[in-house]
Amino acid sequence: MANASLAAIREPTKSELRTVVFASSLGTVFEWYDFYLFGSLATIINKQFFSAVNPTAGFIFTLLAFAAGFAVRPFGALVFGRLGDLVGRKYTFLITILIMGLSTFLIGLLPNYASIGILAPVILIGLRLLQGLALGGEYGGAATYVAEHAPHGKRGYHTSWIQTTATVGLFLSLIVILIVRTSMGEEAFGAWGWRIPFLVSVLLLAISVWIRMRLSESPTFRRMKAEGKGSSAPLTESFARWDNLKIVLLALFGLTMGQAVVWYTGQFYALFFLTQTLKVDAATANILIAVALLIGTPFFLVFGWLSDRIGRKRIIMAGCLLAAVTYFPIFKGITHFTNPALEAALANAPVTVVADPATCSFQFNPVGTSKFLTSCDIAKSFLAKASVNYGNEAAPAGTVASVRIGDKVVQSFEGEGLPKEDLAAKTKAFTVEMTASIQAAGYPEKADPDQINYVVTTLLLVILVLYVTMVYGPIAAMLVELFPTRIRYTSMSLPYHIGNGWFGGFLPAISFALVAARGNIYYGLWYPIIIAVITFIVGVVFIRETKDHRIDVW
């Protein structure tokens, strides 16, 4: 009976393979679209759902809510990875796309903080967690499914189509937002139009489910099942046995950790840097990023194809090293060509925060319980949001912090214990005085559109995207090739989603907090640089090349 079942299983034709790649990639594009709408609309979500706190703390909370979806991705990898190894790849990522699409649609319907109070951010984070769980099961299933259909020697190229989906999903989210935003105007978009891109996801969900219902299970998985060689305990085999756990850990520290920070720096952090640090208006920033993505995305396929010829490892390691070496000059170049007035102010108008060091916090709070209301935190929070570099000068214990801007000194205030009304009044007065002082020192309120060098800025953003394509294009094939079929979905999903969900997803919040703590708008780049260097060292020393490995082993 088993022999008859095996005989009925054949390799897909070229036409069937194209259908598999197209269907898997399109569904995953829609899922990434859903996931990244939140990040693309971070500024508006901050105002809609975190309006009870000051703008800087609210933006950090928004970034953390964005990161919450990443935080649970490894748990989704465990749940859906196990399911995918037990019952199959196809049905598992049917479930994941249903969860993702419905969660995104509900975010579009969710009342804001002004309507239902604290329930709004609580429900928002709950839906974000569901998105993260779904994505934790989606990527491993799609990558494994395509790889198990692809012919030997061409897995890098075929799985690189899956690798384009995250960037294409981000690009699609930016385009939909741009169309809605420009067609209805900024005021209406900020008030309610931002919901439309979320609501559109229900149409994408219907298309994705219809496409995936037409797919068959992968021949490699069916052959394994027909031979009775599947795993009955994929979690135990993946993580409780050292021979496989060792490979999982190497995949995390020597591949996905560095790949993740390069990916998020090159796309999301670049977007945040343009809008939050350089004060480029949101529509212009989205266009710049979208053009860079449009130019750079084909290189996912180029590097996937190239990895079939020269190997996956050397391309991924080169991407990590290039990123680590060039991030500082690239981001300083973006400042120079996008907001030269800010660059001049940073050079010519030094600012110093004079404060008791004991009252200065590191403004990173994953659980959202701290409000950072010391006089030092209030001063540094304002300066970080205003993109003002500053030095630090220690003051005696108990001193209320002050900000020295040239010859002018602005006194901060202690916000702890103040009634809400008094806190709001003092914050407003401090903000008005500080804004006037830094503008008098030459710090621009916004980037001047006439001063932006659009060509060179786009070129620099394209370079960042090229680094993304180098580290990300070949990695799906490499992860698939590291693990046997019976536990492949589970084993590859966890290191991928810990790397991308934790090290990558928390990057914007960590980098923003680093800037606020140290007083330099570029200081947040140290986080991705250090992680990329660690991955480069571990990868070069311990990771073996996989391009010639066969994956039809159980």
pLDDT tens-place string over residues 292-312 = 988 999 999 999 999 999 999
* Phi and psi at residue 355, to the nearest 5°: -155, 155
List of domains in the chain: 14-217+234-338+450-542 (1.20.1250.20), 344-440 (3.40.30)
The mean pLDDT of 22-49, rounded to a whole number, is 79
Measured from the Cβ of residue 389, the count of other Cβ atoms closer than 10 Å reads 21
> If you ran DSSP here, which 8-state letter would residue 373 be given?
-
Backbone region of residue 464 per phi and psi (left: phi > 0; alpha: psi in -120 to 50; beta: other values): alpha
**Of residues 186 and 2, more confidently modeled:** 186
pLDDT tens-place string over residues 506-519 = 887 788 788 877 88
User: In the Cβ-directed half-sphere of 243, how many Cα atoms lie within 13 Å?
Assistant: 4
Q: What tokens appear for 421 in the block?
A: 């009304």
Longest dimension (CA), the chain: 89
The percentage of the chain sitting over the pLDDT mark of 90, rounded to a whole number, equals 36
Q: What tokens appear for 385 in the block?
A: 């949001």
* Phi and psi at residue 522, to the nearest 5°: -100, -5
Backbone region of residue 406 per phi and psi (left: phi > 0; alpha: psi in -120 to 50; beta: other values): left
pLDDT tens-place string over residues 384-399 = 878 888 888 899 998 9
Q: Pick the range with the lowest mean pLDDT from 254-258, 415-419, 434-438, 478-482.
A: 415-419
Q: Look-up: residue for tokens 């010829």?
A: 309
Give the contacts of 535 (CB within 8 A, at least 6 positions apart): 253, 254, 255, 257, 258, 259, 320
Distances (CA, A) of 127 to 65, 96, 116, 370: 10, 14, 16, 23
Distances (CA, A) of 115 to 66, 120, 187, 352: 21, 8, 19, 41
Average pLDDT, rounded, for the chain: 86
Of 281, 273, 356, which Cα lies nearest the Cα of 523? Answer: 273
Per the CB < 8 A criterion, the answer to whether 481 and 155 are in contact is yes
Strand segments (E) across 249-362: 351-355
Task: Using pLDDT thresholds of 50, 70 and 90, give the confidence band for residue 4.
Answer: very low
Per the CB < 8 A criterion, the answer to whether 63 and 366 are in contact is no
Burial of 192 (0-12, 13-18, 19+ CB in 10 A): exposed
Listed ranges 121-130, 452-461, 480-489, 513-522; the one with the highest mean pLDDT: 452-461
Per the CB < 8 A criterion, the answer to whether 303 and 471 are in contact is no
Q: Is the predicted pLDDT of residue 152 greater than 90, yes or no?
A: no
Q: What pLDDT is recorded for position 57? A: 62
- Percent helix, strand and coil across the chain, each to the nearest 5: 75, 5, 20
DSSP-derived secondary structure for 401-434: PEEEETTEEEE----TT--HHHHHHHHHHHHHHH
